[in-house]
């Protein structure tokens, strides 16, 4: 079915006056685009993580264990972030060069922020490394 859709997109591009190479790119873009059902599944997944984050806040024992609570919230937030970036921003379907342009600076920025937080003691105190 995906081949038929890609072939139809390629034929439509050629009929519109595109070169065969441009038509193939149009067919490839169409073949890799997620469906509406995929977006619904992603939305349900993100909603479930958000519900888990809010629900975790209402467990007094979990909130009392600050290191675990903060780590749990950070991990769930990171999963949501990477899901949105990869699928809603279509980074998963883009060329590797574009992915590197996003991921490389993000890693540098995240490492810099974590380093500064440890340097000034905010994160280290909250996790319990420094008292």
In this structure, the answer to whether residues 83 and 111 fall within a common structural domain is: no
Average of per-residue pLDDT across 18-43: 69
- Whether 98 and 85 have beta carbons less than 8 Å apart is answered as no
Q: Residue 88 burial (CB < 10 Å; 0-12/13-18/19+)?
A: middle
Identify the band that residue 66 occupies on the pLDDT scale cut at 50, 70 and 90.
confident
Interval 103-130: pLDDT, tens: 889 899 989 988 887 787 766 667 776 6
Yes or no: say if 70 and 59 are a contact pair by the CB < 8 Å rule: no
Any idea what DSSP says for residue 35?
P
Q: pLDDT grade, residue 73 (50/70/90)?
A: very high
The structural domain count of the chain equals: 3
Global pTM reads 0.60
With a cut of 90, say whether residue 45 has pLDDT above it: yes
The vertex-26 CA angle with 21 and 28, nearest 5°, equals 95
> Which domain, by its residues, includes 68?
34-93
**41 and 21 share one domain:** no
Q: CA-to-CA distance for 5 and 11, rounded, in angstroms?
A: 10
Question: In whole angstroms, what is the distance from residue 77 CA to residue 23 CA?
Answer: 39
Give the pair of three-digit tokens for residue 17. 């006056």
The answer to whether residues 99 and 89 belong to one domain is no
Same domain, 45 and 87: yes
């Amino acid at each position: 079915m995906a081949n038929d859709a890609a072939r139809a997109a390629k034929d439509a591009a050629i009929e519109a006056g595109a070169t065969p190479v441009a038509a193939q790119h149009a067919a490839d873009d169409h073949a890799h685009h997620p469906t509406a059902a995929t977006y619904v599944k992603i939305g349900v997944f993100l909603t479930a993580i958000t519900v888990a984050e809010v629900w975790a806040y209402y467990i007094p024992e979990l909130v009392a264990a600050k290191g675990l609570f903060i780590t749990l919230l950070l991990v769930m937030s990171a999963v949501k972030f990477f899901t949105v970036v990869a699928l809603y921003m279509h980074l998963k379907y883009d060329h590797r060069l574009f992915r590197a342009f996003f991921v490389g600076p993000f890693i540098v920025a995240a490492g810099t922020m974590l380093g500064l937080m440890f340097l000034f003691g905010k994160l280290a105190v909250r996790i319990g490394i420094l008292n």
